[in-house]
């Protein structure tokens, strides 16, 4: 039996991982679970899974967590350092399913102790890819991608001979506004943006899918997980989301991973790696799907993807600035402060105003992240409705 820690246990990814744990008694012993402020959700998950440690980032939520766990053997703690402590505990697998750059410090804590990580928290690789991958080289940490696209690439990637790879092609569903004009997008609501046509996910990633920033973040994530070179990365829109991504080899063969849109498939692959286990996901029925469509992404209607490409090419702190500005802009959209089209405008303005340069340490990333957030907040205030 392997021990498992889930950072971000109360979210969409975290709860699907716990579903797999409950369906596979004897495979994983849950060691630690964490959340931001959902004390009752965290306590319920800890009690149901027999977790030994539960940590909540928001200290104000600690009394409720402590009360809900009273009488159980599960230890509890609060504050951002308690989340890092959860990551440092010696469990076999750490699933990083926190949303946003808040996942950076705990992810790095797990990497530095040489853990095997199932990484869903893409923002960490986007804002601090070189810091995380260099730390993994030193500690021997193993990084297993959970994002369905990267998990697909991982499954068909020739890890022994990456020189045989010509291209990595990430698929994108196109999101809920794939067929809308910019004028129509100006009218969309938060509920429209969160209504993803294929996947059921947390609010932030749903909005990122609607702007196509999610695909931009994934390009940067792919660059760090599969370092074949920026020019070998590509994106194609595939509305059915059946082909989760592809790898083209030098001989012209293209290998793809297909499946129904259920995160428990990539989660099971990463959590049980190097084994494969059964999942309750619906089976793929290609005859009933009948048609798979592909189209090039429209960068004029979805400039967020172009901004991410530019940030990836610029390198250094540019992806960190992009990510921080996007987190602030998406939060401003979700709270009703700004409109949908303001999201990429805020990101573009922040990238133009915050100077980018090399970043080599966590402290430098944190500093750039803070400067970009301050600028993006100012941009959001100027655009407030």
Q: Which residue is nearest to ligand NDP (CB)?
A: 11
Phi, psi of 146 (to 5 degrees): -100, -35
- CA separation for the pair 196, 206 (Å, rounded): 6
What minimum distance in Å lies between the beta carbon of 102 and ligand NDP?
3
Round to whole Å and give the CA distance between 81 and 84: 5
Question: For residues 58 and 56, what is the distance between their CA atoms, to the nearest angstrom?
Answer: 6
Among 21, 153, 263, 349, binds ligand NDP (CB under 6 A): 263
- Judged by beta carbon, residue 237 or residue 349, the one nearer ligand NDP is 237
**Across the beta sheet with 233-237, what order do the strands follow?**
233-237, 165-172, 243-249, 254-258
Instruction: Identify which of residues 34 and 116 has a Cβ nearer to ligand NDP in the complex.
Output: 34
Q: How far is the CB of 263 from ligand NDP (least distance, A)?
A: 5
**Residue number, 218 or 383, with CB nearest to ligand NDP:** 218
The pair of three-digit structure tokens given for residue 317, joined into one six-digit string: 């702190």
* Nearer Cβ to ligand NDP (150/383): 150
Q: How far is the CB of 253 from ligand NDP (least distance, A)?
A: 27
**Residue 209 CA to its chain's centroid (Å):** 11
Binding status of residue 120 toward ligand NDP by CB under 6 A: yes
Q: Which of 4, 87, 93, 97 binds ligand NDP (CB under 6 A)?
A: 97
**DSSP letters along 223-287, please?**
HHHS-S-GGGEEEEE-TT--EEEEEEETTS-EEEEE--S-THHHHHHHHHTTS-----PPPP-HH
Site for ligand NDP in 144-183 (CB under 6 A): 147
User: Binding marks (x or -) toward ligand NDP, 219..258, rule CB under 6 A?
Assistant: ----------------------------------------
Give 30 or 98: the residue with its C-beta nearer to ligand NDP. Answer: 98
Which range in 7-15, 302-310, 316-324, 330-338 contacts ligand NDP by CB under 6 A? Answer: 7-15
- Segment near ligand NDP (CB under 6 A), from 5-13, 137-145, 291-299, 361-369? 5-13
* Cβ closest to ligand NDP, residue 35 vs residue 349: 35
187 vs 200, which CB is nearer to ligand NDP? 200
State how far the Cα of 12 lies from the Cα of 366, in Å rounded to an integer: 26
According to CB under 6 A, which one of 4, 5, 14, 311 is a site residue for ligand NDP?
A: 14
State yes or no: residue 199 binds ligand NDP (CB under 6 A).
yes
- DSSP 8-class letter at 141: -
The number of residues that bind ligand NDP (CB under 6 A) is 28
Q: 36, 41, 73: which is closest to 57 by C-alpha?
A: 36
Q: Which is nearer to ligand NDP, 22 or 60 (by Cβ)? A: 60
Q: Which is nearer to ligand NDP, 69 or 205 (CB)?
A: 205
* Strand-strand pairing, 243-249 and 254-258: antiparallel
Query: 56 to 95, contacts with ligand NDP by CB under 6 A?
Result: 57, 83
Among positive and negative, which fits the CA dihedral 334, 340, 341, 344?
positive
**Residue 54 phi, psi dihedral angles, 5° rounding:** -130, 125
Query: DSSP label at 119?
Result: E
Residue from 102, 143, 213, 237 touching ligand NDP (CB under 6 A): that is 102
Rank residues 103 and 383 by Cβ distance to ligand NDP and give the closer one. Answer: 103
For residue 241, is it left (φ>0), alpha (ψ between -120 and 50) or beta? left
Is residue 37 involved in binding ligand NDP (CB under 6 A)?
Answer: yes
35 in contact with ligand NDP (CB under 6 A): yes
Residue from 80, 158, 74, 88 nearest 117 by CA: 88
First-residue to last-residue Cα distance in the chain = 54
Binding site for ligand NDP (CB under 6 A): 8-14, 35-38, 57, 83, 97-99, 102, 120-123, 147, 199, 201-202, 204-205, 263
């Amino acid at each position: 039996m392997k021990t498992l820690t889930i950072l971000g246990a109360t979210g969409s990814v975290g709860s699907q991982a716990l579903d797999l744990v409950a369906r596979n008694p004897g495979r994983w012993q849950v060691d630690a679970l964490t959340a931001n402020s959902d004390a009752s959700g965290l306590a319920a998950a800890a009690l149901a899974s027999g977790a030994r440690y539960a940590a909540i980032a928001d200290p104000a939520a600690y009394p409720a967590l402590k009360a809900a766990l009273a009488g159980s053997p599960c230890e509890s703690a609060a504050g951002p350092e308690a989340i890092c402590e959860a990551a440092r505990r010696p469990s076999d697998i750490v699933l990083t399913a926190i949303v946003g750059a808040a996942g950076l410090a705990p992810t790095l804590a797990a990497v530095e102790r040489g853990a095997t990580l199932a990484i869903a928290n893409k923002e960490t690789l986007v804002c601090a890819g070189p810091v995380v991958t260099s730390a993994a080289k030193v500690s021997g940490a193993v990084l297993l991608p959970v994002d369905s696209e990267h998990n697909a690439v991982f499954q068909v990637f020739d890890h022994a001979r990456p020189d045989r790879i010509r291209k990595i092609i990430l698929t994108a569903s196109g999101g809920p506004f794939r067929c809308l004009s910019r004028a129509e997008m100006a009218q969309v609501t938060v509920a429209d943006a969160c209504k993803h046509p294929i996947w059921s996910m947390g609010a932030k990633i749903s909005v990122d899918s609607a702007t196509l920033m999610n695909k931009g973040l994934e390009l940067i994530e792919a660059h760090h997980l599969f370092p074949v070179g920026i020019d070998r990365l590509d994106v194609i829109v595939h509305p059915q989301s059946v082909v989760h991504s592809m790898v083209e080899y030098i001989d012209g063969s293209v290998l793809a991973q297909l499946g129904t849109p259920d995160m428990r498939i990539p989660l099971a692959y990463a959590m049980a790696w190097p084994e494969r286990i059964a999942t309750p996901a619906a089976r793929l029925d290609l005859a009933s799907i009948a048609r798979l469509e592909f189209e090039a992404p429209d960068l004029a209607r979805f400039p967020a993807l172009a901004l991410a490409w530019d940030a990836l090419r610029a390198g250094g702190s540019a992806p960190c600035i992009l990510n921080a500005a996007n987190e602030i802009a998406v939060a401003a959209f979700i709270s009703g402060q700004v409109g949908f089209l303001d999201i990429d405008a805020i990101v573009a303005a922040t990238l133009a105003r915050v100077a980018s340069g090399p970043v080599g340490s966590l402290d430098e990333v944190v500093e750039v992240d803070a400067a970009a957030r301050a600028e993006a907040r100012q941009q959001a205030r100027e655009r407030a409705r």
